[in-house]
Amino acid sequence: MKIIESPLYNLVLETHNLDIGIFYFFNNIIISEIKEGVHIDLKNSKSFFETTNKFYQDRPFVYISNRINKFSISPLDFAKFSFELNNVKAYSAIVYNSFFDKMNAEIEKRFSHIPFYIAINLEDAFNWSNNIVNDRNRPLTA
């Protein structure tokens, strides 16, 4: 389900349509919808990093990948994403009924230096993410 079709859309503070996808900024959560066929790497994600770091400044946040389209990501670059996003505390990937998509998310999870949750829908990912950013006493380990 796209964010604009979900009740969560009413909570969006900013939307940024970048070359690689659409990014929805919430108070402590960002949800991406990467465009069909895009290959994500550090180079083409630069504007995303800049936009995200500017929006959140020194606030902690969780990144949710709403995988409604097929795209690829460089696994070696993925491991470096958390270092480019200044205050990201965790990742969540929403996979929709595809063994291949779930397998890709499991591979990315192995490269993550921060907690990584594989969700089955937007609500699941959003609730998990809120628990992460709101539980300041919880240790944030992968």
Confidence at residue 111, expressed as pLDDT on a 0 to 100 scale: 82
Confidence at residue 141, expressed as pLDDT on a 0 to 100 scale: 42
Confidence at residue 74, expressed as pLDDT on a 0 to 100 scale: 83
Confidence at residue 139, expressed as pLDDT on a 0 to 100 scale: 46
Please give the domain boundaries of the chain with CATH numbers for all domains.
3-134 (3.30.750)
Confidence at residue 104, expressed as pLDDT on a 0 to 100 scale: 86
The pLDDT tens digits along the chain (142 residues) read 999 999 999 999 999 999 999 999 999 999 999 999 999 999 999 999 999 999 999 899 999 999 999 998 887 787 788 889 989 999 999 999 788 889 888 988 888 889 999 999 999 999 999 999 987 545 444 3
- Cα-based torsion angle of the residue sequence 38, 116, 12, 41 in order, rounded to the nearest 10 degrees: -20
